[in-house]
């Protein structure tokens, strides 16, 4: 896995956006997708909000995905396998880049057909603990016509990334505005943040 970790880190250093294929190995990605779809069919996902704490609001004209927070307290084997991968990555990131990451938070995200998330930054104004954003995709057989690209805004250019199965995207939470374009198929991912104290 360290080869893939290094690919993610090296591409981030080169272009402010790290991208690594097969960050989630196919069996793990398939299991996580099955778990997400089971939660969705059981009506366990909630409408995603904007902001945090007392400033949390819901506006489907800005964001229309549904989420489910992952938590070790769930004692879910699949979630725990994901956390083991993230623990491994955080140790590698801290030891090679001295980033000082002390924790993380992740949720499943499901964009139903027609859903989107308008341009935004991931770091809250009132809380600067989110250091890096990570998105890992769970979409097998995704095609260009399916839409749902992640659109990242650099100073002088725009980068689009298709939500292809197993791919991980990694960038600094405070630096790059981004959006999820309208999806024409249900779009599944795990999204989260590496955090510092």
Which pLDDT does position 128 carry in this prediction?
Answer: 85
Determine the Cα angle at 69 with ends 25 and 126, to 5°: 115
For residue 55, pLDDT over 70 is answered with no
- Contact 80/35 with Cβ under 8 angstroms? no
**pLDDT band, very low/low/confident/very high, at 53 (cuts 50, 70, 90):** low
Quote the pLDDT of residue 123: 82
pLDDT of residue 127: 80
pLDDT band for 49, please (50, 70, 90 cuts).
Answer: confident
* Ordered strands of the 168-172 beta sheet: 18-20, 168-172, 130-137, 187-195, 103-111, 66-69, 46-47
**Averaged confidence pLDDT in the chain:** 94
- Per-residue pLDDT tens over the stretch 14-48: 999 999 999 999 999 999 999 999 999 999 999 98
The sheet that has 150-153: what strands, in order across it? 117-120, 177-180, 150-153, 158-161
Calculate what percentage of the chain has a pLDDT beyond 90.
Answer: 88
Which residues neighbour 144 within 8 Å (Cβ) at sequence distance 6 or greater?
Answer: 162
Model confidence at 58, in pLDDT bands (50, 70, 90)? confident
Task: Report the pLDDT value the prediction gives residue 37, as an integer from 0 to 100.
Answer: 97
Question: What pLDDT is attached to residue 152?
Answer: 97
Dist. CA 166–CA 85, nearest whole Å: 13
Q: Residue 126 pLDDT > 80, yes or no?
A: no
Residue-level pLDDT at 47: 93
Spatial distance between the Cα atoms of 97 and 104, rounded to a whole number of angstroms: 17
Domains of the chain: 2-49+61-195 (2.60.120.620)
Task: Write out pLDDT tens, residues 64-121.
Answer: 999 999 999 999 999 999 999 999 999 999 999 999 999 999 999 999 999 999 999 9
């Amino acid at each position: 896995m360290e080869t893939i970790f290094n690919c993610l880190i090296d591409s981030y250093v080169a272009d402010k956006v790290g991208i690594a294929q097969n960050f989630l190995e196919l069996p793990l990605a398939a299991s996580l997708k099955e778990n997400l779809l089971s939660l969705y069919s059981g009506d366990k996902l909630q409408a995603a909000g904007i902001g945090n704490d007392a400033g949390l609001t819901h506006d489907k004209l800005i964001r229309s995905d549904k989420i489910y927070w992952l938590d070790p307290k769930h004692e879910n084997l699949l979630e725990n396998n994901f956390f083991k991968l993230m623990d491994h990555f955080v140790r590698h990131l801290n030891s090679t880049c001295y980033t000082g990451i002390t924790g993380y938070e992740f949720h499943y995200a499901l964009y139903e057909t027609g859903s989107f998330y308008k341009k935004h930054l991931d770091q809250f104004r009132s809380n600067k603990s989110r250091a890096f954003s990570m998105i890992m995709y769970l979409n097998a057989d995704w095609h260009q016509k399916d839409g749902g690209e992640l659109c990242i805004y650099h100073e002088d250019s725009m980068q689009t990334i298709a939500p292809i199965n197993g791919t991980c995207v990694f960038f600094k939470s405070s630096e790059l505005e981004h959006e999820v374009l309208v999806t024409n198929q249900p779009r599944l991912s795990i999204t989260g943040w590496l955090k510092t104290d």
